[in-house]
Amino acid sequence: MTTVAELPAGFADKVLSAQSTFRSVMEAMARPGSVQRIEAAAAAGAPAPMMRATAAIALTLFDHDTPLWLDQPMSEASDVTKWLKFHTGAPVVQDSSICTFALIGDPRSLVGLDHFAFGSNEYPDRSTTLILQIESLTEGAAVELRGPGIDGTAALQAMVEPADLFARLEINQTLFPRGIDVVLVADDTVVAIPRTTRSVAKGG
């Protein structure tokens, strides 16, 4: 019973915080490349090495119907597993090919994208959404993005890890409508790279 004694608390105002977080993530998905701030992230505690925005997304989107896969740094921190279990009830699975969300604490050593679920042609939504924690969404190499939700091109300046992320995401082009959606998280900000977004300037 004392195992939860040190865990950070969840949202102080569950409904409103979850609604505003959902809004931010939806906004990010609708406008790929735009940096969205998760206001509610400050209200929730996050167990290390989880970032605040990751924790807010977890509290908003995860439940017992969303199997999770954690990469090494995340799964080694027992606080993360316990915190997720206590607040979201989401099952943590070892098999990354059946997970709905994958939490990546160290994107540099990200496993191949083919380890994750792409969905099926009938149900392309049954794919994995990768949540990558990176250092910064304001500085770093510039990438130009193109695709639905973007008027012309959108510039994203971020320390994208792994460095060849956009090259790897090119499989989305051939797999469509199946594919992988990515959410980049840095502290309390998020950027979404849905499966329809292509990078143009760099490596594209």
Partner 1 sequence: MAAIGKSDEQNRRRAAMAVLAQAATAEIAARLDSIAPPAFENLREPENGLVMVRGRIGGDGAPFNLGEATVSRAAVRLATGEVGFGYTLGRDRQKAQLIALCDALAQSKEFAGAVEQQVLTPLRAAMTSVRDRRAAETAATRVDFYTLVRGEG
Residue ranges binding partner 1 (CB under 8 A): 1-2, 4-7, 9-14, 86-87
Q: How far apart are CA 156 and CA 202, in angstroms?
A: 11
Task: Report in angstroms how near the CB of residue 44 gets to partner 1 at its nearest.
Answer: 11
CA distances from 156 to 36, 57, 133, 165, 169 (A): 12, 21, 16, 13, 16
CB of 165 to partner 1, least distance (A): 36
Nearest-approach distance from CB 4 to partner 1, in angstroms: 5
> What letters, b where the CB count within 10 A reaches 16 and e where it falls short, cover 140-149?
beebbbbbeb
Name the residue nearer to partner 1 (CB basis): 80 or 184.
Answer: 80
Nearer to partner 1 by Cβ, of 63 and 95: the residue is: 63
The Cα–Cα gap between 128 and 90 comes to 15
Nearer to partner 1, 86 or 176 (CB): 86
CB 79, min distance to partner 1, A = 14
Residue type, 22: F
| SS3 at position 93 | coil
Q: Are 178 and 120 in contact (CB under 8 A)?
A: yes
Smallest distance, partner 1 to C-beta of residue 5, A: 5
State how far the Cα of 109 lies from the Cα of 101, in Å rounded to an integer: 17
